[in-house]
Amino acid sequence: MIKKIRSYLDDPDLDVQYKSFILLSIIALIGLFLGLVGGIVINQSILANLSLVVEFSLFAGIFFYSVWLNKLRFAMVFISTFLVFVFLPISFFTSGGAAGGTPVWFMFATLYILMVLSGKTKAFYLAAESLIIVVCWVVGFYHPELIIEFTRPEAFIDSMLTLFIVGTVMAILINYQTVLFRRENERVRRQKTQIESLNRSQNLFFSAMSHEIRTPINSILGLNEVILRQEDASDEIIKDAASIQSAGRLLLSLINDLLDISKIEAGKMDIVPVDYEIADIISDIAGMVSPRVNEKGLAFNVSAAHDIPSVLFGDEVRIRQIVINLLNNSVKYTHEGSVNLKVRSENTGIDSINLIISVSDTGIGIRKEALPDLFDAYRRVDQEKNRNIEGTGLGLSIVKQLIDLMGGEITVDSIYGSGSTFTVCLPQKISDPRPLGDFSVNTSLSLKERDGHLFTAAGANVLIVDDNEMNLAVETRLLAGTGLVTDTAMSGADALKMTKKKHYDVILMDHLMPVMSGIECLSAIRSQEDGLNTDVPVVVLTANADGENRELYKKSGFDGYLVKPVTGKQLEEMLMKHIPAKKLGRPGTAVIPEDAGSGESFKTILRLFCRSIPQKSSELEEFYASKDWENYTIKIHALKSSAKIVGAHELSEMAQKLEDAGKKGDADYIREHHEEMIRTYRELASMAAPPSGVQKKRVMVIDDDELYSGIIRQWIKDMCSVEIFTDGMKGVEWLAENRADLILLDYMMPKVNGPEILEILRSNPDTASIPVYFLTGVETKESLAPIMSLKPQGCILKSTSRGDLRKIIEDALA
Ligand code: ADP
């Protein structure tokens, strides 16, 4: 029993009420016992002693029984009843009434009830005790004969004993309470530190994981977009790729939402105000959302009040996030009708406004009962109806918390079954009070416009710096169809070598790289002696553009930032801002001949065009110098067409005007514009063969795993030119008209496998002497034996590192 009582008192999870009950009961029992002993010693009346014996036994019986059976709550109420209705009145009348020790026991009972009971029960017993006190005192006053009076020594001893007992009880109790309080405080403090450190590690885990997860998703989405852009891909492939895209994007948005929520909860979500143009935000958002709206066959109405100040100061990125989230929800939960975005402003001071953005739809609406919980995290309302609609229930919670952080408000009006309107009010500062004026956005982009390239830029050079070769492969391939020349560097040091050799129009720089970060590399480029790119725009590519980083990028001098995974469109939009206008052409206006449908044939045409530049430009110079306007006009006519074919539109337009002038005999116009045209023409020459002028060696990779061939290309493309074939027979056909210095041949391939291709190559005298290395996934020497028995020049394991592979290729090409 003692063990059981101790376990109760030591249990940190047991409510303090129960502990007080046990302690008080034990002390009360000791008190009663001492009272009984005292009564016997002072020779108290038999009735008084008998009543004490009965009270003690009853109290002890109930207490130990309830502890034994774990029925503390029952005992608490029972003993309170016993104290108030039995012990106190009996004690009052048998122990000297108001002159005895009972009044002190009444105080003890009050304390007992206060500490042990709670709620209505407590109120009832306190009221009952007060009533009993009044009754005892009144009856005792009018009928003193009912009270068994004490003799003088009895009264003294009884009151002394009672005071002593109850005083000790209270002292112990208060002391115990203080100890409990201290212990509890200590426990809460320890728990708080534990929770804080847990929270910190959880946040660290979240941000590390999100970075780790975003990197591979970046590759998946990027390569998938490359597939989506392939004109010759079958419908089935496009359908599968579209599914990958939507699943990948969902996964990404989930990770971003989780990261946002964990940041907000850790108080680490910073609001970073900057100057921004309201027109940009509205048209960008409309451009992003309209494809989804169009896809669902909904109408999309965007309007903005003409008096909104054109430039505001606020956290542009978070405002975009809020509006996109609300619009995406509207699209998600609307099956027919329209989605509407309205923006207006209300003046709140000379340099401040409330920006009011309302997003409404004619969708499924939200039940009235669900509205109060709408902004709770992980809360999805109307689950039954929405179970087929993807979502996590995090979006609106993030929206609400971001708005709170910005000091704004969000309200929602909804009629179930008819639609919803979310209205956001954000206080913003005015940076330029000139009104926005008439504003319209095109919300009906066709699918074709969306999926094609935004520009062509034959002659423009872009350097991409990233330590992750998959990222390099993705970005290079996303831009492949624009005619841009993309060079890649896998480290800051490599990038610095390249910026000394060649001028680029834009540099895309990863932020987090080992040894030299993107920021360090940027500052080295800016201050590079003999550098050709000291003032070239550099855009940072980052997996994490939160408030802190955005500030950092701005301060470090980057000309823009893109958040990974970047889509082809985002990449192209950013490049369009920075590539000189004269190098940009409109997409689709390049007349690519029928047979130039594939990227490879177009590249061949482009190469031919570029290689002919030195000769053709000299011819033009000669006719210009000898004022032979007739031949000059013939040559310039040819240039007009060929420039158009490769998408060099500015050059083509210049040539067109010079041709017109030539036909009219306007020599002055030709003199005025010839030089500019020649300069533009010669700038395109950088697209020709390698800058060193040395014919590059050509390595052919035949592997059905396009991803692996893509990686090889990234690893070795600065050493040689690389031709990739997924189908061995296509490679053999290509060799009929082209040359290769080395062939890397996958051993295991569907349809025609590696050994068969090797046999075909060896049976043809033109290709028999080309060294062939087998590519294989096998790892053991024994499994290599059958491969080596075919006597290839060598064998490369697919697990070979970049450095080793480069060494093998270097030796093989030497
Ligand atoms: P989810 O990822 O589920 O969309 P949100 O936090 O964005 O999470 O939204 C919470 C819930 O609010 C949704 O599950 C949906 O039931 C409801 N909801 C949000 N926006 C709309 C809307 N425009 N129309 C109807 N219901 C909406």
Exposure b/e, 493-521, CB count within 10 A at least 16 = b:
ebbbebbeeeebbbbbbbbbbeebbbbeb
Rounded Cα gap, residues 31 and 766, in angstroms:
114
pLDDT confidence of residue 384: 62
For 424-483, the pLDDT digits (tens) are 999 999 998 888 877 766 554 433 344 567 777 777 889 999 887 767 877 887 887 777
pLDDT higher than threshold 60 for residue 597: no
> What's the DSSP call for residue 147?
S
Rounded Cα gap, residues 331 and 289, in angstroms:
9
Rounded Cα gap, residues 210 and 806, in angstroms:
32
Residue listed under structure tokens 């979006």: 395
- Give me the mean pLDDT over the 132-141 stretch: 93
Rounded Cα gap, residues 693 and 42, in angstroms:
124
Residues 6+ apart with CB under 8 A from 213: 251, 255
- Nearest residue (by CA) to ligand 1, atom 16, is 381
**Measured in angstroms, how far is the CA atom of residue 393 from the centroid of ligand 1?**
7
Q: Pocket of ligand 1, candidates 361, 376, 396, 418: which has the most ligand atoms within 8 Å of its Cβ, to mutate? A: 396
Chain centroid, CA 619 distance in Å: 57
**Measured in angstroms, how far is the CA atom of residue 391 from the centroid of ligand 1?**
8
pLDDT confidence of residue 446: 38
pLDDT higher than threshold 50 for residue 56: yes
pLDDT higher than threshold 60 for residue 361: yes
- Nearest residue (by CA) to ligand 1, atom 4, is 391
**Measured in angstroms, how far is the CA atom of residue 321 from the centroid of ligand 1?**
15
- Give me the mean pLDDT over the 116-130 stretch: 91
Could you count the other beta carbons within 10 Å of the beta carbon of residue 175?
A: 10
Contact by Cβ (8 Å): 621, 640: no
439-448, 485-494, 739-748: lowest mean pLDDT where? 439-448
- Give me the mean pLDDT over the 358-378 stretch: 88
- Confidence tier at 101 by pLDDT (50, 70, 90): confident
pLDDT higher than threshold 90 for residue 55: no
pLDDT confidence of residue 115: 83
For 149-169, the pLDDT digits (tens) are 877 777 787 778 778 877 887
pLDDT confidence of residue 497: 92
pLDDT confidence of residue 464: 94
Atom of ligand 1 nearest to the CA of 394: 6
Atom of ligand 1 nearest to the CA of 386: 16
Rounded Cα gap, residues 400 and 396, in angstroms:
6
For 399-414, the pLDDT digits (tens) are 999 999 999 999 999 9
Atom of ligand 1 nearest to the CA of 365: 25
Better-predicted residue by pLDDT, 119 or 177: 119
- Nearest residue (by CA) to ligand 1, atom 13, is 380
Tokens of 369: 């009962």
Percent of the chain whose pLDDT exceeds 70? 89
Atom of ligand 1 nearest to the CA of 379: 10
Atom of ligand 1 nearest to the CA of 396: 6
**Measured in angstroms, how far is the CA atom of residue 375 from the centroid of ligand 1?**
9
pLDDT higher than threshold 80 for residue 673: yes
- Nearest residue (by CA) to ligand 1, atom 11, is 380
Q: 537, 456, 462: which is closest to 504 by C-alpha?
A: 462
Q: Which helix (H) or strand (E) holds 263?
A: helix 235-265
What are the CA-CA distances from residue 367 to residues 328, 353, 363 (Å)? 19, 33, 12
pLDDT confidence of residue 380: 66
Atom of ligand 1 nearest to the CA of 330: 23
For 292-348, the pLDDT digits (tens) are 888 888 999 999 998 999 899 999 889 999 999 999 999 999 999 999 999 999 999
> What's the DSSP call for residue 391?
-
pLDDT confidence of residue 649: 78
- Nearest residue (by CA) to ligand 1, atom 7, is 395
Exposure b/e, 634-646, CB count within 10 A at least 16 = b:
ebbeebbebbbbb
**Measured in angstroms, how far is the CA atom of residue 363 from the centroid of ligand 1?**
11
- Give me the mean pLDDT over the 768-790 stretch: 79
Residue listed under structure tokens 């330029």: 432
> What's the DSSP call for residue 535?
T
For 539-594, the pLDDT digits (tens) are 998 876 666 778 888 889 999 988 877 778 888 889 988 888 777 776 544 433 33
Atom of ligand 1 nearest to the CA of 325: 7
Q: 100, 208, 114, 195: which is closest to 157 by C-alpha?
A: 100
For 195-243, the pLDDT digits (tens) are 888 877 777 777 677 767 777 787 788 788 778 777 667 777 877 787 7
**Measured in angstroms, how far is the CA atom of residue 332 from the centroid of ligand 1?**
8
**Measured in angstroms, how far is the CA atom of residue 379 from the centroid of ligand 1?**
9
pLDDT confidence of residue 735: 87
The angle, 0 to 180 degrees and rounded to 10, between the axes of the packed helices 46-68 and 16-41 is 150
**Measured in angstroms, how far is the CA atom of residue 368 from the centroid of ligand 1?**
14
Q: Pocket of ligand 1, candidates 380, 402, 421: which has the most ligand atoms within 8 Å of its Cβ, to mutate? A: 380
Better-predicted residue by pLDDT, 785 or 665: 665
pLDDT higher than threshold 80 for residue 94: yes
Atom of ligand 1 nearest to the CA of 391: 2
Better-predicted residue by pLDDT, 250 or 315: 315
Rounded Cα gap, residues 803 and 489, in angstroms:
14
Q: 20, 32, 16: which is closest to 91 by C-alpha?
A: 32
**Measured in angstroms, how far is the CA atom of residue 71 from the centroid of ligand 1?**
48
**Measured in angstroms, how far is the CA atom of residue 305 from the centroid of ligand 1?**
27
- Give me the mean pLDDT over the 22-42 stretch: 80
Q: 678, 677, 680, 658: which is closest to 668 by C-alpha?
A: 658
Better-predicted residue by pLDDT, 439 or 736: 736
pLDDT confidence of residue 601: 44
pLDDT confidence of residue 602: 57
- Nearest residue (by CA) to ligand 1, atom 17, is 381
Q: Which helix (H) or strand (E) holds 347?
A: strand 338-349
- Report which residue type is found at 227: I
For 622-647, the pLDDT digits (tens) are 889 888 888 888 788 778 767 776 77
Residues with CB under 6 A from ligand 1: 329-330, 333, 361, 363-366, 374, 380-382, 386, 391-397, 420
**Hey, which of 16-30, 183-197, 374-388 has the most confident mean pLDDT?**
183-197
**Measured in angstroms, how far is the CA atom of residue 374 from the centroid of ligand 1?**
8
Exposure b/e, 576-593, CB count within 10 A at least 16 = b:
eebbeebbbbebeebebe
Q: Pocket of ligand 1, candidates 251, 252, 329, 378: which has the most ligand atoms within 8 Å of its Cβ, to mutate? A: 329
- Nearest residue (by CA) to ligand 1, atom 22, is 330
- Nearest residue (by CA) to ligand 1, atom 14, is 380
Tokens of 734: 């290509």
pLDDT confidence of residue 793: 85
- Confidence tier at 270 by pLDDT (50, 70, 90): confident
pLDDT confidence of residue 781: 62
Q: 518, 450, 460: which is closest to 489 by C-alpha?
A: 518
> What's the DSSP call for residue 585?
B
Tokens of 554: 């701005």
Alpha helices for 717-769 (secondary structure H): 728-735, 754-763
The angle, 0 to 180 degrees and rounded to 10, between the axes of the packed helices 72-81 and 102-116 is 150
For 496-551, the pLDDT digits (tens) are 999 998 899 999 999 888 788 999 999 999 999 988 999 999 999 887 666 677 88
Contact by Cβ (8 Å): 552, 459: no
Q: What are phi and psi of 761, to 5 degrees?
A: -65, -40
Rounded Cα gap, residues 128 and 131, in angstroms:
5
Atom of ligand 1 nearest to the CA of 361: 23
